[in-house]
Structure 1
Amino acid sequence: MSDERIERDFMARDEQERQAFLEQTWCDKCLQENLGMNTPLEYEFKGIVFIEGKCNQCGEVVLTELTDEEF
């Protein structure tokens, strides 16, 4: 497995799936769920797929780790 990030195309997902990932979030700084994220970036790192963006409320990085059934 590579220690480098492999960029993936978040926009290749269908609209409903993209919206779910953008809305169903957890922010470690706000300590709240479903505040939403913007500027999503999808990538694979060490065999794990992540979607990273910025919290709509505070602007901190929010990170979603995808499990096998999510991709």
Structure 2
Amino acid sequence: SNGKNILYLDLKCNLVFYSQQILIWNSNTSRYRLSNCFLLLQLDGNLVLYSGKNSLWETNTNCKTSNGCVLL
């Protein structure tokens, strides 16, 4: 967060992005009503939102099969 742009995982397992206090995007995963969610940046560059062993959302990024992928 830089104070203007915020990405966070809320208590309802929803990944949310705000810019200047305006909701820009969300993963729409709060409908599952799950808990104990976490984000994992996998070795292949795919960012995945999990609840336990179940994936709820992912970026579908695969740096192992893409020549144009850079992780920062």
Specify if TM > 0.5: no
State the TM-score, normalizing by the size of structure 1.
0.37
Q: Which has the larger share of helix?
A: 1
Which of structures 1 and 2 has the larger relative contact order (alpha carbons within 8 angstroms, sep 6+)? 1
State the TM-score, normalizing by the size of structure 2.
0.37
